[in-house]
Amino acid sequence: MSSYFRAIAIDFDGTLTQGGRPEEGVLASLADARDAGMALLLVTGRVVSDLLHVFPDAERWFDVIVAENGAVIRREGVSHPLTTPVPLELDAPLVESGVYFQRGLVLLACNIEDEIVVLEQVRRLETDCQLIRNRGALMVLPSDVSKGSGLLKALEDLRISYHSTIGIGDAENDLALLRHCELAVAVGNAVDSLKREADTVLTANAGEAVADFLNERVLAGAPLPASRRWQVTLGQSDSGGRVRMPASQANVLVVGDSGVGKSYAAGLLAERLIELDYSACILDPEGDHAPLGHLHQVVALGGSGPLPPAESVPLLLRQQLGSLIVDLSLLGEQRQALYAAELLQALHEERRRSGLPHWIIVDEAHVPFSDEGAACSMFQSQTGLCLVTYDPAHLCGSSGLDFDFLIAIPGENGIPPTALEGMRERWDIDPLDRLPAPQEGQALLVRLGDSPGVELFKLGRRFIQHVRHWHKYADAHLPPGSMFQFRNYFGLTGARADNLATFRRELLLCDSKVLEHHAAHSDFSNWLAHAIHDETLASTARELEAQGRADGAFDSLRHALVEAIEIRYLA
């Protein structure tokens, strides 16, 4: 079975059946899908009573029925309207106009031939309603209702992400359904507008197409196409075009020397995925990604706070369908490796259970994904991995994870030789044979697989400010030789800082003569540049030191430098 998808949302009329109860072969394929662990949702424009009249045992085959074009959810024999009904004052003028209609709990259904009359009455009464076509039928619904909105509510109740869902339909009202699924599938008899939006169009019609798709592709574990609608933009090419990759069902390897921007690229990918509502779990050994915790539905664990047991971390993903940053930067090397191994095991089991997280992003991946570790074989057949390393030679060399994309970040000396050699040996591709060596701020996107290709591009801008080794310098303790020793003109004051948190505190407490002494010797900027390795903050400190030397306003220097640290690290 597909290891990625966890639910299938299927339209009824024209998709599951051409009329009446679905054929036994179609129902058998539905049963096989449920037995394999897939949740099935029937998403129909029909009123529940009408559906059960032609398909009395519908609830036997589906976990949830989304009826009335998304306005009603039926589960365990109970129908729940999701909004208020179409206003009853519409009934009398429609009857007077000779329009035959049927009411459900929410919608009003009629014939497409009456569209003009119905539209006139809706406008005359100034009701907040919409008219939706479904081949020969016309539905009047509250303006905020669609098959997509109903599907999202049903998936939320099932604790399943729409990014883990396949949608199958045939008619105009199924456009909203397919747009709210990761993979959009149109049966062969679908209307042209639906086929144009679908990621894949089946050759057979209605129930036969659904059964074949389930049996021959989903249940057989055959590769499914990546969605054309769900893509992440990594940056811009020299020609100005967007450089993109699929947001699901792919593996990415990010390589480059230490300090050249690998974590920036991985964080950029994480931001774009989180923006699109994918669930990601980032293993962060250096504290580079902790600021991503400011994004919506992202929880940051670890860092200066305690880490929960590794086996309990996936529960947070399941509860909120969101993303996690697991900051390991304050753990010792041995404990860090052990926790990462335990967490990867727990995430592997959670993926088998719920399909979450969609993406696992691992910085310094050569440690947990070395040949000696269990992670390589554990995740060998899965997608949704982004591994980041300066040492690709020791990354799953023997078991061979499959990668679809490689992002190579150059340093001063270009692409690391080990990375180039790995590309030549593993994928028989040398990107520099096709393109000039990338310059600073550029990267190479190597598309692997059956149609390899190489693009030179500039990485996009981050939403969240990226600071390397965030918690390492904000909260961890630097070695004695790297501490900042506070002085005045008479010598050491006894105050010292072994991280940015204590440095900030001592800045607030120290005498202005201490500030004057250090500003005169550019001590603040030198320490920030060489001990903290943050040239951006060091540059700010240089400007403040120069300003202090010029105007003697050292209290202004104090507060401005503290504010710069807080904005960049401690906010």
CA distances, 56 to each of 24, 60, 76, 210, 259 (Å): 14, 9, 14, 20, 64
Asked if residue 102 lies in contact with residue 111, where contact means CB atoms within 8 angstroms, the answer is no
Contact 230/246 with Cβ under 8 angstroms? yes
Side-chain-side CA neighbours of residue 59 (13 Å): 13
Q: pLDDT band for 423, please (50, 70, 90 cuts).
A: low
pLDDT at 248 over 80: yes
Residues 200-229 have a mean pLDDT of 93
Q: In this predicted structure, what is the pLDDT of residue 553?
A: 85
Total length of the chain: 571
Task: Reply yes or no on whether the pLDDT at 565 is more than 60.
Answer: yes
Q: Which residues, 6+ apart, have CB-to-CB distance to 234 below 8 Å?
A: 243, 244, 245, 265, 268, 269, 272, 407, 445, 457, 459, 460
569 pLDDT higher than 70:
no
Distance CA 565, CA 465 (A): 13
Q: What's the pLDDT tens digit per position in 161-192?
A: 999 999 999 998 899 999 899 999 999 999 99
SS3 249: coil
Of residues 398 and 56, the one with the higher pLDDT is: 56
- Give residue 475's pLDDT: 56
Mean pLDDT of 245-260: 87
- How high does pLDDT run on average in the chain? 86
Cα separations in angstroms, 277 against 187, 233, 291? 27, 15, 18
Residue 167: name the closest of 150, 179, 184, 148 by CA.
Answer: 184
Q: Tell me: the pLDDT tens digits for 84-111?
A: 999 898 999 998 888 898 899 999 999 8
For residue range 31-73, what is the model confidence (pLDDT) as tens digits?
A: 999 999 999 999 999 999 999 999 999 999 999 999 999 999 9
pLDDT at 439 over 80: no
Q: Enter the pTM of the model.
A: 0.78
pLDDT band, very low/low/confident/very high, at 205 (cuts 50, 70, 90): very high
More confident site: 414 or 522: 522
Instruction: Tell me the residue type at 209.
Output: A
In this predicted structure, the answer to whether residue 304 has a pLDDT above a threshold of 80 is: no
pLDDT higher at 567 or 256 = 256
* Closest by Cα among 8, 67, 11, 72 to 40: 8
Q: Considering only residues 461 and 235, tell me which one the structure prediction assigns the higher pLDDT.
A: 235
Residue 571 has pLDDT above 50, yes or no: no
pLDDT in tens, 218-241: 999 888 988 988 999 898 887 778
Query: How far is 481 from 461, CA to CA, in rounded Å?
Result: 35
Taking residues 483-505, report their average pLDDT.
83
pLDDT digits over 312-352, tens only? 999 888 887 789 999 998 888 899 999 999 999 999 999 98
Calculate mean pLDDT across residues 350-370: 91
Check whether the bond before 142 is cis (ω within 30° of 0). Answer: no
Query: Confidence class of residue 412 from pLDDT cuts 50, 70 and 90?
Result: low
- Domain 231-459 architecture: 3-Layer(aba) Sandwich (3.40)
* Residue 207 neighbours by CB distance under 10 Å: 22
The tally of CA atoms less than 13 A away on the side-chain side of residue 411 is: 13
If you ran DSSP here, which 8-state letter would residue 332 be given?
-
> Exposed, middle or buried: residue 517 (CB in 10 Å: 0-12, 13-18, 19+)?
buried
* pLDDT for 31: 97
Q: What is the rounded distance in angstroms from the CA atom of residue 208 to the CA atom of residue 272?
A: 38
pLDDT per residue over 104-137, tens digit each? 999 999 989 888 988 888 888 888 888 888 777 8
* Confidence (pLDDT) at 23: 95
The residues with which 360 forms a beta bridge, in sequence order, are 281, 385
What tokens were used for 250?
Answer: 């792919």
Least confident range of 189-193, 246-250, 469-473:
469-473
Residues of the chain with pLDDT > 90, as a percent, come to 44
Q: What pLDDT digit, counting tens, does each position of 130-157 carry?
A: 888 877 788 899 888 889 999 999 999 9
- pLDDT, residue 554, reads 87
What is the domain partition of the chain in residue ranges?
1-77+147-228, 83-144, 231-459, 477-570
477: pLDDT confidence band, cut at 50, 70 and 90?
low
Residue 169: what pLDDT?
96
* Beta-carbon count within 10 A of 342 CB: 14
Position 426 pLDDT exceeds 70: no
pLDDT at 144: 83
Tell me the average pLDDT across 14-24: 93
- Rounded Cα distance between 461 and 318, Å, is 30
* Whether pLDDT at 464 is above 70: no
Q: Which residue would you say has higher pLDDT here, 477 or 526? A: 526
Q: Does the pLDDT value for residue 245 go beyond 50?
A: yes
Q: Three-class SS string for 204-244?
A: CCHHHHHHHHHHHHHCCCCCCCCCCCCEEEEEEECCCCEEE
Residues 6+ apart with CB under 8 A from 454: 429, 431, 434, 435, 444, 445, 446, 447
**Within 10 A of 550 (CB to CB), how many other CB atoms are there?**
8
Mean of the pLDDT values across residues 280-284? Answer: 95
CATH topology of domain 1-77+147-228: Rossmann fold (3.40.50)
CA distance 255 to 261: 9
Strand 108-111 versus strand 137-142 pairing type: antiparallel
Measured distance CA(374)–CA(71) in Å, rounded: 47
